């Protein structure tokens, strides 16, 4: 399985944008890029996913590099509720399983 | 919709005891999953099911058993509890395995084996 690399931790100020990077240099053509986040003492929750094009939803935006070897999750205006561990996961089409790494722990500074 | 519910929330077991972790979903999802999460680590897949009567092993199945007799329920059984099974257990479900099918997670069961 292709692997992802994320920074262990990041900090950001409240009400500012946050850019969470993910490297996936061995990504294959059928791998989708998924992001989940896990708030303290909760189960993970889906954030966003994409294949080649940038994606937007109500929670975040996903920017995918042209060569697909990296991507960035963008939280446009961080709030204290966005403090969580963010997981970048590659999932090939038709694969029902998610493989979680250790993710990036995002701290929001008031 | 309640989504994915898990019981109990917490449990302490003695070595060698057995227990069943319950998981129920009310979204009529075909796929269900059990993960465990050790402190400071990501989730690891224990077992999963693609429909009633069908189960398969994940990454770390040893020491666990599952069954799927209905679409809604997916219990996880620990037969002989060991300290290495101290972890937080998450159940999840999804409609299918398509790339856009997000997994919905329950709140977790925190298990301690002493």
Contacts of B5 in chain A (CB under 8 A): none
Minimal C-alpha gap between A16 and chain B (Å): 27
Residue A88 has pLDDT above 90, yes or no: yes
Residue B98 has pLDDT above 80, yes or no: no
Contacts of A84 in chain B (CB under 8 A): none
Question: Does the distance separating the beta carbons of A91 and B99 come in below 8 Å?
Answer: yes
Minimal C-alpha gap between A110 and chain B (Å): 24
Residues B97, A94: contact at Cβ < 8 Å? yes
Residue B1 has pLDDT above 80, yes or no: no
Closest alpha carbon within chain A to B43: A100
Minimal C-alpha gap between A45 and chain B (Å): 7
Nearest-10 Cα torsion for A86, B1, B3, A97: -80
Spatial distance between the Cα atoms of B43 and A103, rounded to a whole number of angstroms:
10
Phi, psi dihedral angles at B106 (to 5 degrees):
-80, 180
Spatial distance between the Cα atoms of A28 and A81, rounded to a whole number of angstroms:
34
Question: Does the distance separating the beta carbons of A43 and B42 come in below 8 Å?
Answer: no
Tell me, what's the pLDDT at B54?
95
Tell me, what's the pLDDT at A95?
77
- Flag whether residue B96 sits within 8 Å of chain A, measured between CB atoms: yes
Tell me, what's the pLDDT at B110?
97
Q: pLDDT band at residue A103, thresholds of 50, 70 and 90?
A: very high
Tell me, what's the pLDDT at B99?
63
Question: Does the distance separating the beta carbons of A98 and B45 come in below 8 Å?
Answer: yes
Q: Which whole-number Å values give the CA distances from A50 to A39, A53, B58, in the listed order?
A: 22, 7, 25
Average pLDDT over all residues of chain B: 94
Rounded to an integer, the average pLDDT of B69-85 is 96
Q: Which of B40, B43, B89 to mutate to test the interface with A (most CBs of A within 10 A)?
A: B43
Tell me, what's the pLDDT at B22?
98
- Of A25-29, A56-60, B5-9, where does the model show the most confidence? B5-9
Phi, psi dihedral angles at A29 (to 5 degrees):
-65, -25
Rounded to an integer, the average pLDDT of B32-61 is 94
Average pLDDT over all residues of chain A: 94
Rounded to an integer, the average pLDDT of B30-36 is 96
Tell me, what's the pLDDT at A2?
67
Residue B68 has pLDDT above 90, yes or no: yes
Residue A1 has pLDDT above 70, yes or no: no
């Amino acid at each position: 399985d292709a692997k992802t690399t994320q920074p262990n931790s990041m900090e950001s100020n409240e009400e500012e944008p946050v850019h969470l990077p993910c490297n996936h240099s061995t990504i294959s053509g059928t791998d989708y890029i998924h992001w989940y986040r896990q708030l303290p003492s909760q189960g993970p929750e889906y954030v966003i996913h994409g294949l080649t094009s940038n994606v937007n939803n109500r929670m975040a935006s996903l920017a995918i590099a042209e060569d697909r070897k990296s991507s960035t999750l963008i939280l446009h205006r961080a709030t204290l509720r966005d403090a969580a561990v963010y997981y970048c996961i590659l999932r090939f089409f038709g694969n029902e399983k998610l493989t979680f790494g250790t993710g990036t722990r995002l701290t929001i500074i008031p | 919709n309640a989504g994915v519910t898990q019981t109990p929330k917490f449990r302490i077991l003695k070595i060698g005891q057995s227990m069943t972790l319950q998981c129920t979903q009310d979204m009529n999802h075909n796929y269900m999953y059990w993960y465990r999460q050790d402190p400071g680590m990501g989730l690891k897949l224990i077992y999963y099911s693609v429909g009633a009567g069908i189960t398969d092993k994940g990454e770390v199945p040893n020491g666990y058993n599952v069954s799927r007799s209905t679409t809604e329920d997916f219990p996880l059984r620990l037969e002989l509890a060991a300290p290495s099974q101290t972890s937080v257990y998450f159940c999840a479900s999804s409609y299918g395995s398509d790339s856009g099918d997000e997994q919905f997670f329950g709140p977790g069961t925190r298990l301690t084996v002493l």
